[in-house]
C-alpha cells in the first residue's frame, strides 16, 4: 500500500470513528492530513462516516485543488493554514461534537476543572472568535486561538484538535468533548467550580511526557 493509500485509509477510518463516538453527525465536520506534495482533506457535503478513499481531495500546500477531484471541504483554508503555520502538526480534526459545540456557544475558554486540560498545551481550552464558516477570517481566528497548543473551541461552531497523526488528533478531540461535558455538569451543581492553578497544569504537562507505555 502506498503512503497516499495509507493516508486515505486512515482518514476514512477516522471519519467512521468520529461518527461511531457521536463526535460528528453527517457532513458537519472535516479532517485533513499532511502528505507529500500537500495535504488530503475530506470533501464538502459528504458524511464523514460514508467516505471512500477515492472521495478524499488532495490540495497543494497553498490550497490549490487540482482538477478531476471532488470539491474540498468548505473549511479547507483552516487545514492549509494550520499545517503551514505548525510544522509539528500533521493532522487536523474539526467536529461539531455536542458538548464542545455547546460550550463554544458561550464564547469562553474551557477552564481547568480537570488536569486533562494539560493535553491541550495550556491552562485552558481557548475559544476562537466567531467568523462565518469557510472564510479567511475564521481561519485567522482559529490560528490565533490555537497558538502553539493542540485544540480550541470555535465560537458558535464547534471544535478543532490537531496532532502529529490522526490517532493523536482524534484522541484529543475525544478528551476535549469529555472535558466540555465535565464543565457543564460541574456548573449544573450550582456551587463555585474550583479551577486548578496554572502551576499544577504545568506540572501535569511535564508528567504526561512520560505517561503510558514506552515506544
Contact 166, 91 (CB under 8 A): yes
Q: Which residues pair with 128 in a beta bridge?
A: 154
Contact 68, 55 (CB under 8 A): no
Contact 62, 80 (CB under 8 A): yes
Question: Which member of 17, 75, 99, 175 is catalytic?
Answer: 75
Q: Nine-digit cell at 15?
A: 471519519
Give the residue from 104, 110, 79, 108 showing the smallest Cα distance to 158: 104
Annotated catalytic residue 75 = yes
CA separation for the pair 157, 94 (Å, rounded): 10
Q: Supply the residues annotated as catalytic.
A: 75
Amino acid at each position: 500500500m502506498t503512503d497516499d493509500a495509507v493516508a486515505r485509509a486512515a482518514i476514512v477510518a477516522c471519519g467512521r470513528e468520529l461518527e461511531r463516538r457521536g463526535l460528528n453527525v453527517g457532513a458537519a465536520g472535516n479532517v485533513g492530513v499532511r502528505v507529500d506534495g500537500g495535504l488530503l482533506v475530506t470533501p464538502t457535503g459528504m458524511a464523514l462516516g460514508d467516505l471512500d478513499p477515492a472521495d478524499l481531495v488532495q490540495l497543494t500546500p497553498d490550497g490549490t485543488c487540482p482538477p478531476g477531484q471532488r470539491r474540498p471541504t468548505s473549511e479547507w483554508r483552516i487545514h492549509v493554514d494550520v499545517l503551514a503555520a505548525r510544522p509539528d502538526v500533521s493532522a487536523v480534526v474539526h467536529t461539531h461534537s455536542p458538548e464542545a459545540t455547546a460550550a463554544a456557544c458561550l464564547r469562553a475558554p474551557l477552564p481547568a476543572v480537570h488536569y486533562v486540560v494539560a493535553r491541550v498545551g495550556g491552562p485552558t481550552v481557548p475559544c476562537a472568535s466567531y467568523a462565518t464558516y469557510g472564510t479567511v477570517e475564521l481561519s485567522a481566528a482559529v490560528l490565533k486561538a490555537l497558538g502553539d497548543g493542540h485544540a480550541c473551541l470555535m465560537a458558535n461552531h464547534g471544535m478543532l484538535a490537531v496532532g502529529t497523526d490522526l490517532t493523536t488528533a482524534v484522541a484529543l478531540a475525544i478528551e476535549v468533548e469529555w472535558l466540555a461535558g465535565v464543565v457543564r455538569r460541574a456548573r449544573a451543581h450550582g456551587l463555585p467550580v474550583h479551577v486548578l492553578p496554572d502551576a499544577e497544569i504545568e506540572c501535569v504537562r511535564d508528567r504526561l511526557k512520560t505517561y503510558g507505555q514506552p515506544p
